[in-house]
Amino acid sequence: MLYFSKLRIIFIFLISIFFILFASSNFFKFSNGLINKKINLGLDLQGGSYLLLEIDNNPLIEQKLQNLTITIRNYFKDKGIRIKNVKLLDQKISFSVEDQFKQAVLDVFEDEESDLNPYYPRFKSHQLNIIEENELFNVNYSKQGLIELKTSSQDQALEIVRRRIDEIGTNEPNILKRSNDRILVELPGLDDPMRIKSLLGKTANLTFRFVSNNNEDSFGVEKLQYEDGSEEAIVSKRIILSGDNLLDAQPRMNNETNETVVTFTLDRIGAKRFGRATSTGIGKQLAIVLDGNIISAPVIRDTIASGSGQISGGFTFQSATDLALLLRSGALPAPLNIIEERTVGPDLGQDSIRAGMIALFIGFILVVLFIFIKYRIFGLITNLALILNLCLLIGVLTIFEATLTLPGIAGIILTVGMAVDANVLIFERIKEESRNEKNTLIAFDSGYSKSKTAILDANITTLIAAIILFFMGSGPIKGFSLTLGIGIFTTLFSVYFIARLLTVLYISKNKEKEGLI
Amino acid sequence: MIGFNKYYNKFNILSISLVVISLFLLLFKGLNFGIDFKGGSLIELRSSDSKINVSSLRDTLNQLDLGDVSVKNFGNETDFLIKFEKNDNKDVIEIIKSSLDKSFGNNFSFRRVENVGPKVSSELLKSGIIAITVALFLMLVYIWIRFEWQFSLGAILALFHDVIVTLGLFSLLGLEINLSIIAAVLTIVGYSMNDTVVIFDRVRENLKKFSDIKIYDLTNISINETLSRTLITSVTTLLALLSIFFFGGEVLKGFSLAMIFGVIFGTYSSIYIANTVLVRLRVSQKTVLRDDDKS
């Protein structure tokens, strides 16, 4: 265990230099572009907001099924089959047909080429399940159908969330999918997430619909509240225009009324529809509905054929800016709820870094002093290995541009405390061996080899704990497990290569001395 | 040589009572779960006006109908930690902000805001329990591969002892259990295992070497031989942990405290639980040699 070839010594030396360079690039700036990596600071250290959003897919499922009832009815009507008693309850469509058509209906739903009920060959499942029960057919989404629906709504929502956050212009946001109905948003440096929260909390589903004064509308009507909660109005369910037809929206000052408004531009189809609706509906009230609330319901005075218009509704400049932003970035497929929020202000982050560094420094000094007093010259070697161990650890974190959290700093400090264990095991063993063995070299050699299994065992158990933490833990805990886990490898390297090399160099010069350790 | 083995019985009784008391505490007093596992909101405030104190803050907040509100100083006189059960109002933070501004003037900075919904908190609790269970299980597998079953049993009993007593102490002192405590418990599991394995390694080595020494004395010899290592490593680890506890800031206090308890219990249990299991199972040279013959 005591022999080092020249090549190996050079190798150890080069590796150490390599990592030290990377570690130091956190503190100094190198003029060349090669080593310009840095450890990322976690949100708890640099300050920022962590938001976990959950997509509430229920309204979307309801709406899809609502559309599906019409599709089903029309589809079978073309085939000369009349669908009766259609009902939508608990995300389930139920209907009945005359007995002689039952098989035909089932065949359509179970046909793998069916365009009414798409088949996913990879999962051997249809989009919809159909069950016959008490003379009724029950149709609902299959498990796979729900997964497809959730995945696609997650994709859309992610895109919209990204657009909204980009519009506000925070630095380097991190927007990620979690399971199939969640979105994780990390916003470094943002200490007041109020505005983003309110922007993400809105579905921004915009529709233009006529206010109907009688209840006789072939599409049905619904009673909606004005946004300020003051009044209600009966609005047709027929949608003239929706937010999808919008090309652009901007906040503006209306010079005549001295009011803040949102102006919008429509795409070609939208402009055509808007023109037709405004020409036939002169004198009627057109309600502008956002997420089920009426913003305003102006009376149409003239045909608007230009494909642009404006929304007024007692906006402040801020609320007009936000509405324009929401309209520009588009509507979410389903409402989002914030189910977890963690925000750390930048000054607390600074305090945490300072406290962590002080703790690291003091812990390090205490351990180093203790080890030096205990082992003298070999303590010095252990300490040197410990310092290099720290450099290696920071170097590895830098190369991977890992994220350092406050618990991560705790992991580094803990590594300092536990890293000496391996050297202690070795030196204690050497002490024991040299009681019976007068030859220093043999005593050292057997000390190293006999302590090997214990050291491996000790580190593997800690590594198991670190790996589990890494895969099970979230955010900051991951940071802890990362430094603890990497610390194990750098510790083994520093003990078996650096400390051993130094020990060998020392004893080979002093092997005649008695009681070396 | 220190006669650790003379106290095997006494400390076994002590450990069993500690575990029983801890289980009672966990069962009847329960743990003080933080918002990570219970759901709810947490706000860390810093006031620039030293006249503001906990009771005046509490009075203001109690008018807001937030449910169970707790207000504490956090680290020093001008920092406060406010916690309350989940409030369904999405803008609750904004409401608190404006209400505090009204009562005390604009003297606060919101240093930290955490909001954990009931769904997330129950998921976090579940994954925390799974993490600890999986860790204990993998340790069991590892030690089972490495040693004979008597050793595995000893090590696992020592692990359970450490985890249960540490949690019992948290229950007794009413300290908060949050995500970082789970990390601490898992690290304790690793540390305690580490300590036990080092002593077991020596017991096994000695069992093969000496056929005429009874396990009762053999464990004592092994403990003594590894004692200085056990102590030195405990001291350096404790030095690091104490430094986190005193200088690492409020956020890491609970974590480092749990680890400090865990290191002390872990060191104790590898001497007084793991080894006594070997003694009580009458492990002898045959136990380890038979196994070697097989392989």
Write down the ipTM of this complex. 0.90
Percent residues over pLDDT 70 in chain A: 96
Per-residue tokens: A249: 């929206």
Going by the DSSP 8-state scheme, the letter that residue A193 receives in this structure is T
CB A332 within 8 A of CB A156: yes
Name, in order, each residue with C-beta under 8 angstroms of A320's C-beta and a sequence gap of 6 or more.
A251, A252, A260, A261, A262
Chain B residues within 8 A of A474 when measuring between CB atoms:
124, 127, 179
SS3 per-residue string spanning chain B: CCCHHHHHHHHHHHHHHHHHHHHHHHHHHCCEECHHHHCEEEEEEEECCCCCCHHHHHHHHHCCCCCCEEEEEECEEEEEEEEECCCCCCCHHHHHHHHHHHHHCCCEEEEEEEEECHHHHHHHHHHHHHHHHHHHHHHHHHHHHHCCHHHHHHHHHHHHHHHHHHHHHHHHHCCEECHHHHHHHHHHHHHHHHHHHHHHHHHHHHHHHCCCCCHHHHHHHHHHHHHHHHHHHHHHHHHHHHHHHHHCCHHHHHHHHHHHHHHHHHHHHHHHCHHHHHHHCCCCHHHHHHHHHHC
Residues A390-420: b if buried by 16+ CB within 10 A, e if exposed: bbbbbbbbbbeebbbbbbbbbbbbbbbbbbb
At A223, the pLDDT band (50, 70, 90 cuts) reads: confident
A338 touches B at CB < 8 Å? yes
Whether the pTM exceeds 0.80: the reply is yes
CB A395 within 8 A of CB A14: no
**Amino acid B97: pLDDT:** 85
Chain B, nearest residue to A357 by Cα: B248
**Amino acid A189: pLDDT:** 83
Structural domain spans, chain A: 6-46+346-509, 48-174, 206-342
**Amino acid A55: pLDDT:** 95
**Amino acid B294: pLDDT:** 46
Query: Sign of the CA dihedral A200, A203, A209, A212?
Result: negative
Q: What is the pLDDT along chain B (295 residues), one digit of tens a residue?
A: 889 999 999 999 999 999 999 999 999 999 999 999 999 999 999 988 878 888 888 888 888 878 888 898 888 888 999 998 866 677 788 888 888 888 888 788 889 999 998 889 999 999 888 988 898 888 888 888 888 889 989 998 999 999 999 999 999 999 999 888 888 888 888 888 889 989 998 999 999 888 888 999 999 999 999 999 999 999 999 999 999 999 998 888 999 999 999 999 999 999 999 999 999 998 888 888 765 554 4
B190 vs A409: CB contact, 8 Å cut-off? no
Mean pLDDT of A128-153: 90
Homologous superfamily of A6-46+346-509 = Multidrug efflux transporter AcrB transmembrane domain (1.20.1640.10)
Chain A residues within 8 A of B187 when measuring between CB atoms:
414, 462, 465, 484
Residue type, B278: L
Size of interface A-B (CB pairs under 8 A): 209
Chain A residues within 8 A of B89 when measuring between CB atoms:
none
Tens-digit pLDDT profile for residues A347-359: 899 999 999 999 9
Window 200-219 of A: residues touching B by CB (8 A cutoff) are 201
A465 vs B112: CB contact, 8 Å cut-off? no
Tens-digit pLDDT profile for residues A408-465: 998 898 888 888 899 999 999 998 888 888 888 888 999 999 999 888 888 888 898 8
Residue owning tokens 């089903």: A72
**Amino acid A439: pLDDT:** 85
Where is A42: in which H helix or E strand? none
Chain A, nearest residue to B121 by Cα: A340
Q: From CA A517, how far away is CA A431, in angstroms rounded?
A: 6
Which has more pLDDT, B172 or A234? Answer: B172
Tens-digit pLDDT profile for residues A288-298: 999 888 988 88
Residue owning tokens 């002390």: B264
**Amino acid A1: pLDDT:** 67
Chain A, nearest residue to B190 by Cα: A462
B190 touches A at CB < 8 Å? yes
Chain A residues within 8 A of B111 when measuring between CB atoms:
344-345, 347-348
At A475, the pLDDT band (50, 70, 90 cuts) reads: low
**Amino acid B295: pLDDT:** 44
Window 398-437 of A: residues touching B by CB (8 A cutoff) are 406-407, 409-410, 413-414, 416-418, 420-421, 424-425, 428, 432
Tens-digit pLDDT profile for residues A200-209: 888 999 999 9
Residue B65 phi, psi dihedral angles, 5° rounding: 60, 55
Whether pLDDT at A34 is above 70: no
B249 vs A454: CB contact, 8 Å cut-off? no
Minimum distance, in Å, between the CA of residue A411 and any CA atom of chain B: 10
Chain A, nearest residue to B181 by Cα: A477
Chain A residues within 8 A of B46 when measuring between CB atoms:
347
For chain B, list the domains and their CATH numbers. Answer: 4-34+120-294 (1.20.1640.10), 40-116 (3.30.70.3400)
Chain A interface, best mutation among B43, B78, B115, by max A CB count within 10 A: B115
A363 touches B at CB < 8 Å? yes
Tens-digit pLDDT profile for residues A258-316: 889 999 999 999 999 899 888 888 888 889 999 888 988 888 888 888 888 888 888 88
SS3 per-residue string spanning B101-163: HHHHCCCEEEEEEEEECHHHHHHHHHHHHHHHHHHHHHHHHHHHHHCCHHHHHHHHHHHHHHH
**Amino acid B265: pLDDT:** 94
Per-residue tokens: B241: 């942990």
**Amino acid A448: pLDDT:** 92
Chain A residues within 8 A of B225 when measuring between CB atoms:
432
B248 vs A409: CB contact, 8 Å cut-off? yes
At A177, the pLDDT band (50, 70, 90 cuts) reads: very high
Where is A263: in which H helix or E strand? strand A259-266
Q: From CA A397, how far away is CA A22, in angstroms rounded?
A: 9
CATH number for the domain formed by residue range(s) A206-342: 3.30.1360.200
Q: Which of A234, A313, A231, A240 is nearest to A281 (CA)?
A: A240
Q: For B183, which of A345, A425, A473 is closest by C-beta distance?
A: A473
